[in-house]
Structure formats: structure tokens, C-alpha cells
Amino acid sequence: MTILRIAWDLATALRIADTRNFPISTEIAAALVEVQPGHMREIHWHPNADEWQFYIAGKARMTVFGARTNSRTFDFRAGDVGTVPKAMAHFVENTGDTPLRFLELFRAPRFMDVSAMDGADAARIGAGASRHRPRIARGVAQGEAADHVTVRPFTAPHT
């Protein structure tokens, strides 16, 4: 099996397994994401499935955007599980001093995402991405979360 490797720059990379390189995987697609300290997986969304995440190593902060001005931010560490509903924009920051590694899992035959970094009309279907990765400052404004919850699904606030 050949793993599709997508590297935007030296700071962020994905290794994708889906029906294109693992034909028997007709109901699941996955990506191993690696993000170096001080960098992020850019704002993006998945048009074909909910995303489940399993954090393998490092520390992360994910922000998920709901309708209008609603958003939620969650902190993760190795062993945590997160979810993002289909088509909700989100980004993941490496807030630690070591590389961040996590799995993105989808109940779909193909890995698909649309990146805000690619422009309004550029849908990325498992390949290609922006070469201009924004750099973030770790721990700015929010600091560390006061409590740690193992499973943090996104839920839209009641208005």
C-alpha cells in the first residue's frame, strides 16, 4: 500500500489512506497529521463526512466554527478524542514544544477537505494545499485550559 503524503511545508504534513491507495477501505478514510511546534493545520472543512480525531502525541488547541459568530475552542493532549461535524470549519494549533501527531478519521471512502488557504473556489480533494502556512504564537490569549476532558465533541451553543 502506498500512503499519499501531502506536505505543505516543513511544518505540517498529512499521510492519507483511503480507497485510492487502499481499495478495500470502502467505508473509512484516514489521515495521519503531523504539525511542528508553533504551527497549525490551517482552517479547513470536510464536505463529505464528520471528522473523528485521535491525538497520539503532543498538545493541541482546536477551534471549530459554527453558524454566524458561534465557535468553540478545545485543548487536547495525547490519548484524547475529538469530533467535528461535517462541513464545520476548524483549525488545529500545536500548542506544545514537541511535534503534534493525530489521526483524522472519516466514515467515507475518500479523504476530502476544502482549505480556506487555497482560495474560495479551490476544493482540495486529498491532494495539494497552500504553500503559505500561517505561523502562530503558542499560548497567546487563552493560556492552558483549567480542566481536562477526555472526549470533547463540538456542540453548537443555544441561542
Contact 50, 87 (CB under 8 A): no
Q: Measured in whole angstroms, how far is the alpha carbon of residue 123 from the centre of its chain?
A: 16
Which residues in 129-146 are b (16+ Cβ under 10 Å) and which e?
bbeebeeeeeeeeeeeee
Would you say 34 and 101 are in contact if contact means Cβ atoms under 8 Å apart?
A: yes
Give, in degrees to the nearest 5, the angle at Cα 99 between 95 and 105.
90
Catalytic residues: 104
Amino acid, single-letter form, for residue 132: H
